[in-house]
A = this chain, B = another copy of it.
Amino acid sequence: MKINWDTIAGPTVLINRRRAQHNIRTMQEKANAAGVALRPHFKTHQSNFIGKWFGPPESTPIAVSSLTMAQQFADAGWTDIHIAIPLNPRELPALNSLASRVSLTLTIEHEDALAVINNITHALKVMVEIDTGYGRTGMHWQQHNRIRSLLDALQAQPKVQRIGLMVHSGHSYNATGDAAIQAVHQESSARLKELIDMMAWHGSPLWVSTGDTPTCSRMDSFPMANEIRPGNYVFYDLQQKTIGACNWQNIALAMACPVIARYPERNEVVVHGGAVHFGKDWVDTTQPNGSSERIFGQVMHNTANGWGAPITDAVVISLSQEHGKLRLPAAMVRELKLGDLVIIVPPHSCLTMNAAVATEHFICFDD
């Protein structure tokens, strides 16, 4: 399908199907070559339609970040679902219902969660989250006695069919370039190995799941892992480009926003497209003079069917609820007319897509 620009009235997410499918294929080939399973994280797109680009639902294991997403994808035919956020005891009834109809993997990272696991009435898999340096969630990798005790307790629970360790090295998002990504990857792998060595684990084999998008995109081997679990790579975005996880040509999602105001005197335009559409995440950029600037999107060249390269010094400088303020080259401001569409790559495609899924304002096109 080509984009029919005339049908776009308000802020609309555009998804380049060829690029997204290329990204999906590339990551699958990498996982195959590295000898690890791939469990794509569906929190990035949250769409049943796009989910099927990864393969048939019944043979595609997936990760999600909420019970709500798990229920949605279970309803749509996915059968192997990992809720990759620590267990919330308040969701026990719904988790039981879900465990009765899909192969469900839960995440825990504290002994207190065992009481909840014991109340799950169906077979399930459990991953213990390990913190190897990110500092968000997970048991600290040096707490090997505590982690081994938790694994022992899980192994003693007959309903638990598989146990494993899960890592999310989200601090790779603070890295820039392959050397820095590699440093995070190596440190995280070494810490995971140290934990496993120190535990001297002799129980059933531990299934190890790792993998953030920067690491999975730039590294080729995952020696500690049985499985990788990236999500953002389907679309990528400005944060991933800044990290060095992708090229501009990999970015498969952008937003088309109509111009609603122009200010040649200050090289600015305002579009309809604000925090409720983009999600208000940001990228801190370094200017040629060395100063730092926080931006909320990168403006791209329009093409007949999609977008081309980034436009130099054309960025979203602020977002309010529905307005996006853009700084553009003087010539571009002069040429833009009221209602023209500006194409913007957002900082964080997960948040942009989350907003679009809620309002169903996204278009998949073929270029």
Residues of A within 8 A of B (CB): 8-10, 43, 65-68, 85-91, 94, 109-110, 112-113, 116, 135-138, 140, 170, 258, 260-262, 265-266, 270, 272, 275-276, 279-281, 318, 320-323, 325, 337-339, 350-351, 354-355, 358-359
Contact = CB atoms under 8 A, between A and B. Distances in A.
A354 B321 contact: yes
Contacts of A320: 136, 170
A76 to B, nearest CB: 18
A358 B116 CA distance: 30
A351 B261 contact: no
A116 B272 CA distance: 17
Contacts of A358: 355, 358-359
B9 A88 contact: yes
B321 A65 contact: yes
* Copies per assembly: 2
Given A323-B136, A339-B89, A358-B358, A275 B279 contact: yes
A137 B279 contact: no
A109 B89 CA distance: 53
Contacts of A66: 10, 272, 322
Nearest to A129: B261
Contacts of A110: 261-262, 338
A312 B138 CA distance: 26
Given A270-B86, A323-B137, A325-B136, A10 B67 contact: yes
B10 A86 contact: no
Contacts of A94: 9
A258 B10 contact: no
Nearest to A7: B90
Given A276-B354, A358-B359, A113 B338 contact: yes
Contact of A338 (B89, B258, B275): B89
B339 A321 contact: no
Nearest to A259: B88
A136 B270 contact: yes
29 contacts: A10-B67, A10-B90, A10-B91, A43-B322, A66-B272, A66-B322, A85-B260, A87-B260, A87-B338, A89-B258, A90-B258, A110-B261, A110-B262, A110-B338, A112-B338, A136-B320, A137-B260, A138-B261, A140-B265, A170-B320, A275-B279, A275-B281, A275-B351, A276-B279, A279-B279, A279-B280, A280-B280, A280-B351, A321-B354
A258 B88 contact: yes
B323 A85 contact: yes
Given A321-B43, A350-B321, A137 B339 contact: no
A91 to B, nearest CB: 5
A94 B8 CA distance: 12
A280 B140 CA distance: 27
Contacts of A350: 321
Contact of A261 (B109, B265, B354): B109
5 nearest A-B pairs in the assembled complex, by CB-CB distance = A89-B339, A358-B358, A86-B260, A9-B90, A65-B322
